[in-house]
Amino acid sequence: MGRGDRPLAGDGDERMTARTVLPVIFLMALAATASGQTPVPVVERTVTQGDVATRVSLFSNQVVVVTVRRDGVQDFMRSMTLPDDQYMVYLATFQANAEELDDRPISSRVDTANAEVVLSLHVGPDAPRLIRFSPMSTFRLPLARIIGALDDIQFQVFEASPSAEAMRIWEPRKGDRVELLNGTFATVVEVWDDGLLILEHDQTYVRESISPSTRDQVILRVVEPTP
């Protein structure tokens, strides 16, 4: 099997290096999060086309942030938290392919006056590494994999429902007041061990059970979390 055919890392020593480094990075990320330290970036990319700059950043606490600026003014920002297993897949992809990057990750450079990509890699043997290139350039396989993974993460953030992300990280308690998607309000009166919620609707006092998988389909936002 050729070097370019390997999905994440090389054979022998290279593969052992990736396997050794990745758990260390993950444990460092968990330790930083647990101790309340500021999360550190894993990889960041800014694509500038004319007066529009789109930035995607993945941090060690598994949070992805995407911002869009026009003429220097931010007009979009959204964040989401990747699940543990998905974060580890992306982290493995970035780490292993950063190790395979040589001094010439761009196979064919194209000059574009009003468009530029700036990639910051905070993993790999040369971290931190800054790579600048045109979005019209062609890349060697390791950089192409990194770009592909970033495209996938950015797409997920653009497509994510803000309500779904908020519901995913919400830890409901008895007494929390919520606004529902139909414009009415309700209060959490019971929280079961399996995550099932019992809501009591305002005015009607009708009670409704909501499973963890359907929260974002019923609840818009938490209005008054219980202290």
Tell me the sheet residues that pair with 66.
56, 78
**Domains annotated on the chain, with CATH:** 3-160 (3.30.1560), 164-224 (2.30.30)
What confidence tens digit (pLDDT) does each residue in 77-98 have? 888 889 899 999 999 999 999 9
112 in Cβ contact with 136 (< 8 Å): yes
What confidence tens digit (pLDDT) does each residue in 35-82 have? 456 788 999 999 999 999 999 999 998 989 899 998 888 878 888 889
Mean pLDDT score across all residues of the chain? 81
Q: Which of 30-39, 147-156, 173-182 has the lowest mean pLDDT?
A: 30-39
The band of 214, judged by pLDDT with boundaries at 50, 70 and 90, is confident
Q: What CA–CA distance (Å, rounded) separates 17 from 53?
A: 35
The band of 22, judged by pLDDT with boundaries at 50, 70 and 90, is low
From residue 133, alpha-carbon distances to 12, 102, 128, 199, 218 in Å are 32, 15, 17, 53, 45
Q: What CA–CA distance (Å, rounded) separates 96 from 18?
A: 6
Residue 97 burial class via C-beta count within 10 angstroms: exposed 0-12, middle 13-18, buried 19 and up: buried
Q: What CA–CA distance (Å, rounded) separates 10 from 27?
A: 23
pLDDT of residue 29: 52
Give the predicted TM-score (pTM) of the model: 0.62
Radius of gyration of the chain (CA): 22
Q: What CA–CA distance (Å, rounded) separates 154 from 223?
A: 29
Q: What CA–CA distance (Å, rounded) separates 71 from 214?
A: 39
Closest CA to 226 of 184, 191, 202: 191
